[in-house]
Amino acid sequence: MAYILLYVDDIILTASSDELHKSIITLLSSEFAMKDLGQLSYFLDIIVTHNAGGLFLSQKKYAMEIIDRAGMSSCKSSPTPVDTKPKLSATSSTPFEDPTLYRILARALQYLTFTRFDITYAVQQVCLFMHDPKDEHMQALKCILRYIQGTIDHGLHLYPSSISTLVSYIDADWVDVRVRDGLLLGIGYLLVII
């Protein structure tokens, strides 16, 4: 199994065996100019901790920066990222006084979902209203931030697996994907689990 993350001109690769790792590096090196920077510890605001069971990916520092940017560093935590009230509406409430701040925070939360799948739905809901945020939308966004405050140490654990089929997850506006020698190569933003 191998995990490959491509982001613009940066590549992260981890594999279940040294042979697979070397094989992928050789194949990628034949297509792209590459430099091995050694064991991964930090990448695009993601802290990588290596342990006996695998990897732990955390965006704790980035999450704290979002909370600070919102002026909520001393806020009380929330047990859930969403309010139990009915769904948000595009027409209710009054317009939020600083739509730029709303958009900045919503976009920052979108990136945080890379390691925080637990907030994905809530973040998607507040992002639906970035074009015309209302006060109630900002309250929903603040609920997410209060939840993050209480779960700041959460992240993504990657463990060894016996999966032998190709599963790919793609989040991109544009991706060029090619298969060569049974491996999936891509240019753009692509996460592949082999």
Is residue 102 within 8 Å of 142, Cβ to Cβ? Answer: no
Is residue 57 within 8 Å of 48, Cβ to Cβ? Answer: yes
> What's residue 193's pLDDT?
41
**Same domain assignment for residues 33 and 109:** no
Q: Based on the structure, what is the number of domains in the chain?
A: 2
**Same domain assignment for residues 165 and 188:** yes
- Which contiguous run of DSSP H or E holds residue 141? helix 135-150
Q: What is the pTM of this model?
A: 0.73
Is residue 176 within 8 Å of 186, Cβ to Cβ? Answer: yes
Determine, yes or no, domain membership for 54.
Answer: no
Strand 183-193 relative to strand 2-7: parallel, antiparallel, unpaired? antiparallel
| pLDDT per residue as tens digits for the range 118-166 | 999 999 999 999 999 999 999 999 999 999 999 999 999 988 777 767 6
**Same domain assignment for residues 139 and 179:** no
Tell whether the model's pLDDT for residue 101 goes beyond 70.
yes
| pLDDT per residue as tens digits for the range 82-91 | 877 767 777 7
Q: What is the C-alpha separation between 170 and 186, in angstroms, rounded?
A: 10
**Same domain assignment for residues 146 and 168:** no
Is residue 143 within 8 Å of 122, Cβ to Cβ? Answer: yes
Determine, yes or no, domain membership for 155.
Answer: no
| pLDDT per residue as tens digits for the range 20-53 | 989 998 988 898 888 888 888 888 889 999 988 8
The boundaries of the domain holding residue 92 are 60-150
**Same domain assignment for residues 142 and 66:** yes
